[in-house]
Amino acid sequence: MDYSEKVMDHFANPRNCRKMEDANGVGTVGNPTCGDLMTIYIKVNDDDVIEDISFQTFGCGAAIATSSMITEIAVGKTVEEALKISRNDVAEELDGLPPVKMHCSNLAADGLQAAIENYRENNQ
């Protein structure tokens, strides 16, 4: 399976890979077919901007790379802007994923959306 240099870099050197103790939004998603499990943590400030984001992922290299990439895409964006990050956006930022691994970018986008939903539930 051929992975782009960006995928390999984010797999070997994941960004923002940690549990965030003071997160105000947490989303956990999984894919029972492949066994990947991903938790995205967000800290949203009073201006509704994601000021910190991190992840913990149990899964393949592509799942780790997409988790890492979504943290880079979403940080600094408003919650509304972050909600618009699509599954394809994640794959495109990584210079593509093999078709059999596209479900990994789905997980990253879904995890971010779940964290935002959790944030909104906690702050209504």
pLDDT digits (tens, 9 = 90+) for 63-99: 999 999 999 999 999 999 999 999 899 999 999 998 8
pTM value is 0.94
Q: What is the pLDDT of residue 103?
A: 79
By annotation, the residues acting in catalysis are 34, 104
- Quick one: pLDDT at residue 100? 87
Percent over 70 (pLDDT), the chain: 100
- In this structure, which CATH number among 3.90.1010.10, 3.90.1720.10, 3.30.470.20, 3.30.1490.190 belongs to the domain 5-122? 3.90.1010.10
The pLDDT assigned to 99 comes to: 87
Q: Tell me what pLDDT residue 23 has.
A: 97
Q: Where are the chain's structural domains?
A: 5-122
SS (H, E, C) the chain: CCCCHHHHHHHHCCCCECCCCCCCEEEEEEECCCCEEEEEEEEECCCCEEEEEEEEEECCHHHHHHHHHHHHHHCCCEHHHHHCCCHHHHHHHCCCCCHHHHHHHHHHHHHHHHHHHHHHHHCC
